[in-house]
Structure 1
C-alpha cells in the first residue's frame, strides 16, 4: 500500500497531513502507558551505609570526656591496637579506680579507664579491606608464642605523645618483662610488614587505670605515694597472659597462646 499520494496538490497534502497528525495524537493518547514506578517504590528506601563506609565524623571531645583524637577519623580508617586483657584482676583494679578518684577529687578530675588491658602495640590505622588479612598475619605470627601468668607491681605516671592526657598505670612486674617481650616481637614484625609504627622502644608494659585531660604528670607524681597506699590494700594483681586480642573499631579478634 502506498504511504504517500504523489498526485495530490500541496494544499490538499498539507490538510491531509494535519488531519492525520491529529488522529494519530488522539490514538496515542488513548494508548498512553501508565508512568513506570520509581526506584524507591521498587527497591524501598535507601539503606544507610555500613559503619565502615560512613562519611567523615567531626570530632567532638565533649562527647568522650575531653579526649582528643591522635588522628582524624576518616571514612574507611579503623583505629587498631593489640592487647592482653586484664580480666583476672579487673575487680581489684576497679575498686582501686573508685578509691583513687574519690581520694584526689577535687584536686584533679580523674576518670576510670573502661577497658583494662595491657597494650602490645600503638594505636594504628588500618583500612577496612586490610583487617582480615592483618588478623591472619597476626595469628600466624603468634602461633609459636607461649602464654604465662604474670603480676602487676606498683604504679607509674605516663602521658601520651601529644601530652594531652595523663595516665595512672600499673606496670608489669619486671620479672616478666622478658616473657612479654617474646610475645611483642612477632607483633612488631607484623606491624613492620604492614609499614605501621612498632611499639615503643624501650617497651614499658603496663595497664592504664585512670586518666585526666592535659599534662598533669607533675601533680600526679606528687600524689603517687598516696595512690600506692590505696593500691597496697589490694591482693596480688594477677595478669593472665593466655590470649592476645586485636581490636579494630568494634571488631575484636582473639588469638590463643600455647
Structure 2
C-alpha cells in the first residue's frame, strides 16, 4: 500500500500561496475585501453572568462566624423562608442583645441575630425559575388572612436540627398562637404544593435574638434566669403582624394582610 506524503502536500500548498502572492498587482490589491467586524464590536463587551448563574460558592464557616450551611450552596439554588418582621420592638430587642452579650461574655461567645423576625417557614431551596410563581401562589394563599397586634413574652433556648448552633429567642405570647397558626396554615399548603418541608409540628413561634456555635443548650439554660431579668427591664415587646414577607436570596416580597 502506498504511503501518502502529507509533508510534501503541505509544502506544495505553501509554495502555491507564495507564488500567488508574488504575482498580485496593485489593481487586485485594491479589490481586497475589508475585514469583517469582530463579535465584540457588534455586540459590545461581554455581559457579566446573571446572579442566578454565578459559579458555585465554596462555603467557609470562618467568613460568617463559624456557621455551617444546612445545605450546600449550589448554582441556581436560592435559600428561601417566610417571616414576620419584628420592627415594632426592634430597638428594645437590640438593647437586650447588647446587654446579654456583655453579661455572658465570660461563659459563652454570643452573636446577635441581625435580622430580627418571626419565622413562618423553614429555610427551603427554590430554583430561580420558581421564585415568581411561588410568590404569586403565596400572595393568593394569604389573600384572606387577617393581621393583628401581638406581643413577645419571656425567653427560650433552641438548637437547630443539626445541633451546630444554639439560640436565645423571645417566644410569641401564648394568647396569640391560634391567630398566628391561622396565618401559617396557608403558607404550609403552598410549601406542600411545591414539595417543600412544612413548618415544625408543633409550631413554636419565636424571634431569635442571639446565637452561638455548637450545642450550648445546657449552659444557656443555666443562665436563663439572669437573661430573663435583663428582658424584664424592657417594656412590653410589641409585634405588629400586619404583613408577611418572603425572602429568596437577596429578593424580598411583601404581602399586606387584611
Fold similarity call, TM over 0.5: yes
Aligned to 1:12: none
Q: Deviations over 1:148-189 (max 9, x none)?
A: 011100000000001111100000001110100000000000
**Could you say which residue in structure 2 is the equivalent of 1:244?**
244
Please give the secondary structure, in 1, of the residue aligned with 2:154.
coil
Please give the alpha-carbon distance, in whole angstroms, between the structure 1 residues aligned to 2:202 and 2:187: 15
Report the CA distance between 1:221 and its aligned residue: 0.7
Stretch moving more, 246-255 or 58-67: 58-67
Cα separation, partners in 2 of 1:244 and 1:22, compared to 1, 3 Å: closer
Moved more, 221-230 or 23-32: 23-32
Write the distance in 1 (CA, Å) between the matches of 2:31 and 2:106.
82
Q: Give, in whole Å, the separation in 1 of the partners of 2:21 and 2:256.
A: 82
Q: Which runs of 5+ in 1 are unaligned?
A: 1-17
DSSP 3-state at the match of 1:88: helix
Alignment of 1:79-228 (within 5 A): 79-228=79-228
- Per-residue CA deviations over 1:54-85 (Å, capped at 9, x if unaligned) read 11111111111111111111111110000000
Instruction: Give the match for residue 6 of structure 1.
Output: none
The Cα RMSD (Å) is: 1.6
Task: Show CA shifts across 1:109-147 (max 9, x none).
Answer: 101000000000000001111111101100110111111
**TM-score if structure 1 supplies the norm length?**
0.89
Task: Provide the C-alpha distance between the structure 1 equivalents of 2:37 and 2:49, rounded to a whole number of angstroms.
Answer: 24
Greater radius of gyration (CA): 1
Q: Which residue of structure 2 aligns with residue 75 of structure 1?
A: 75
Deviation at residue 40 of structure 1 after TM alignment: 2.1
Q: In structure 2, what is the Cα distance between the partners aligned to 1:224 and 1:34? A: 81
The whole-number CA distance in structure 1 between the counterparts of 2:88 and 2:30 is 80
The TM-score, its normalising length taken from structure 2, stands at 0.89
- Structure 2 unaligned segments of length 5 or more: list them: 1-15
Deviation at 1:106, TM superposition (A): 2.8
What secondary structure sits across from 1:163 in the alignment?
coil
Shift of residue 35, structure 1, vs aligned partner = 3.0
Determine the C-alpha separation between the residues in 2 that align with 1:169 and 1:238.
15
**What is residue 53 of structure 1 aligned with on the other side?**
53
Moved runs in structure 1, 4+ residues, more than 6 A?
none
Which whole-Å CA distance do the structure 2 matches of 1:45 and 1:25 have between them? 41
| Number of residue-to-residue matches in the alignment | 239
